[in-house]
Structure 1
Amino acid sequence: MIEIEKTTALSSIQDLGRSGCLNYGVGRAGAMDPLALQLGNLLLANDPQAAAIEIPLFPFRVRFLRDCAFAVSGNDGDILLDDKRLPPWWVAQAKAGQSLTINASRHSARAYLHLPGGIDVPQVLGSRSTQLRGAFGGYQGRGLQKGDRLAAKEPDRVLPSDIGIASPWLRFADISAEVQTLRVLPAAEHLAYTAASREKFWQQTWKITPQSNRYGYRLEGEALVALETMEMRSHGIVPGVIQVPHNGQPIIQMSDAQPSGGYPKFATVIEADLWLLGQIPPGRRIRFVACNYDQAREAWETQQAYLQQVAQQLRQLRGTAYSVMS
């Protein structure tokens, strides 16, 4: 269906990740921007869990080996089908032999390439996501390489093209802001740090360092100081947890986080903001704002309602397009 012509080993196949495997020592993996993944799948009338190609470095280029619809989400950079520029968050139709080039966004860190029905790779432990640490899932358990060929699960499905949606960034965040604000819940060891450190955590901006990746975002700022040295047994952690190693510089666990760790847990980024965190490139700055459980739940419900709204709008647009085509 498609052949990879230009990529890096950091591009990988991801869906919404694995659930129910943490007790076996298997992390969640999955898309760093789950909102973009679901919206791209909605564009193609795919299952929300369908796998796509996650692209963190650009340019990325594929060649279509047969006619096929596709969509690109999570990116507002130049998207070229041969020499034709396409809008972001859009469904288009490619002909066999055409090349698709996805260039870097001005503001976001990742793009997703979607095919009808999703990328056709085997499920492993209930997910098609690439687990790089364990070298399984996705395409041969690794990042993508030039020359790899991938197929769509439903290559013959006919879809009306030239249908798109407005960027979710306009609704949930200003992705172009120099400093992004993330909502967090205080975690178990929050009160184990000095009052001055707790206050500084909220007041200062933190830089995402170049050492950040799908495993964790390493932050740089005024170090957090514990009331006393803490030695903890390893305990369960999930993506979004902000741990503090001995140097006082926090680490936010990301999609490929291991399922356990022994560093103190200072706070946790709420589920509804993980998509935004996944789109912030290293070198940018973030700040944290405290919220409570009810606010975190409300943010999640608002996001789910938005997805339902988009799904309904796209069903109406596709119905109109089919009527015109017929």
Structure 2
Amino acid sequence: MSMHIISPGMLTTVQDLGRRGYMASGFQQGGAMDQFAARAANILLDNSESDGVLEMTLLGVKAYFDEDNVIAITGAEFAPTVTDFETGEVTELPMNRAVRVKKGDVLDCGSARSGLRGYLAVAGGFDIAPVMGSMSTNLKCKVGGFDGRKLKSGDVLPLRYPQSDLYGMTSRVFEHEKQKDGTVTVHVIPGPQDDYFSDKGKNIFYSETYSVTGDSDRMGIKLDGTPVESVDGVDIISDGIVAGSVQIPSSGKPIIMMADRQTTGGYAKIATVITSDLPLLAQLRPGGSLRFEKVDLQYAVKRIKQDNKLLKKLQYKILRADTSISGS
């Protein structure tokens, strides 16, 4: 059972929730940039939340399956269609729900109308051997995913056979609040080196509206705006970097470290983005704008609990519906 890639899109890689437990050895964690969306796509299809998905950047894949399957696309607002293999009829597919794709039908995920990264999951999941416990593609090290690289035309991705009834999945919908247009508010916890910056610098950081630059990527989101003033330079003895660390280099312009960040860094970190806001950052296009808002640890924990509750609610809704069907 396989997925045949006709056109790979701009940058499509296999990702999951990342390679955890290896940062102490100097290996990047990686994983999906928008992990909330990736988890939701898998839940819709009875996959493990940590199963591999295709992360599609701006332009999605065009592909066909050699057997009937069910897919789900979450994250950025793409415009997927499916072309019937026998009739040539083109049908628009909805986002954020499980949809059937018949053998030979051509799935075209189209381009993102809003947001930046979409996530395509298939029922049963991708049959790809993990490297250090993860399917995630590390492009710089050329490991994980499909031959350690982005997808290209002609690739054939092996799939696992679904353990659930395909036809019973297609009524499943993930309903959640969409990201609004305009300036995004990103919540951060101060530190760990906020004392390296003057009061003026901190005021700039929390009042400025920053724009995302064109050289942002999976490693980091680079921002343009008024430079943040330090007390006496920003160099530190290199220490660990987590997802969401906001480094201030010598230019004074913040860089938010993301999934493919290095494990350590030598610039002072003025703040750390809360985990629940990382998906917002993953969907910001170059030219998008954001501002930072200071919060405490209790707020960050509350938000994580809310995210997990929303996904648990989806799982419960699916379980209840499946139980109702099997009992009817």
- TM category, shorter: over 0.9
Contact 1:4–1:145 (CA under 8 A) maintained in structure 2: yes
Q: Deviations over 1:52-72 (max 9, x none)?
A: 000013142111122111111
C-alpha distance in structure 1 between counterparts of 2:162 and 2:298, whole Å:
43
C-alpha distance in structure 2 between counterparts of 1:297 and 1:303, whole Å:
10
Q: Which moved more, 1:68-77 or 1:181-190?
A: 68-77
C-alpha distance in structure 1 between counterparts of 2:63 and 2:159, whole Å:
13
1:90-239 matches, within 5 Å, as 90-155=97-162, 157-159=164-166, 160-168=168-176, 170=177, 174-239=178-243
- Does residue 38 of the first structure (1) align with residue 39 of the second (2)? yes
Equivalent residue number for residue 264 of structure 2: 260
Of 287, 290, 298 in structure 1, the residue corresponding to residue 291 of structure 2 is: 287
Closer/same/farther in 2, CA of residues 308 and 51 from structure 1, 3 Å limit: same
C-alpha distance in structure 1 between counterparts of 2:325 and 2:260, whole Å:
39
Closer/same/farther in 2, CA of residues 322 and 6 from structure 1, 3 Å limit: farther
Contact 2:5–2:155 (CA under 8 A) maintained in structure 1: yes
Q: CA deviation at 1:321?
A: 4.7
Equivalent residue number for residue 54 of structure 1: 55
Closer/same/farther in 2, CA of residues 319 and 78 from structure 1, 3 Å limit: farther
* Letter of the structure 1 residue corresponding to residue 173 of structure 2: I
Of 77, 89, 94 in structure 2, the residue corresponding to residue 87 of structure 1 is: 94
* Letter of the structure 1 residue corresponding to residue 213 of structure 2: T
* Letter of the structure 1 residue corresponding to residue 158 of structure 2: A
- Which stretches in structure 2 are left out of the alignment for 5+ residues? 84-89
Task: Specify the SS of the correspondent of 1:164.
Answer: coil
TM-score normalised to the size of structure 1?
0.94
Equivalent residue number for residue 87 of structure 2: none
**RMSD (CA atoms):** 1.6
Contact 1:41–1:47 (CA under 8 A) maintained in structure 2: yes
- Which stretches in structure 1 are left out of the alignment for 5+ residues? none
Q: Percent identity?
A: 30
Contact 1:47–1:117 (CA under 8 A) maintained in structure 2: no
Closer/same/farther in 2, CA of residues 230 and 289 from structure 1, 3 Å limit: closer
C-alpha distance in structure 2 between counterparts of 1:178 and 1:230, whole Å:
31
Closer/same/farther in 2, CA of residues 95 and 322 from structure 1, 3 Å limit: farther
Task: Specify the SS of the correspondent of 1:142.
Answer: coil
- Does residue 302 of the first structure (1) align with residue 292 of the second (2)? no
Q: Which moved more, 1:253-262 or 1:231-240?
A: 231-240
Contact 2:43–2:315 (CA under 8 A) maintained in structure 1: yes
Q: Deviations over 1:186-239 (max 9, x none)?
A: 112212112112111111111010100001000000001111124322211011
C-alpha distance in structure 2 between counterparts of 1:143 and 1:56, whole Å:
11
Q: Deviations over 1:125-160 (max 9, x none)?
A: 111111112110111111111111112222474322
Q: CA deviation at 1:11?
A: 0.8
Q: Deviations over 1:12-45 (max 9, x none)?
A: 0000001110011011100011001111111001
* Letter of the structure 2 residue corresponding to residue 223 of structure 1: P
TM-score normalised to the size of structure 2?
0.93
Contact 2:76–2:283 (CA under 8 A) maintained in structure 1: no
C-alpha distance in structure 2 between counterparts of 1:270 and 1:208, whole Å:
18
Equivalent residue number for residue 30 of structure 2: 29
* Letter of the structure 1 residue corresponding to residue 272 of structure 2: T
Closer/same/farther in 2, CA of residues 283 and 167 from structure 1, 3 Å limit: farther
Count of residues in Structure 1 that have an aligned counterpart in Structure 2: 320
C-alpha distance in structure 1 between counterparts of 2:196 and 2:60, whole Å:
45
C-alpha distance in structure 2 between counterparts of 1:320 and 1:51, whole Å:
29
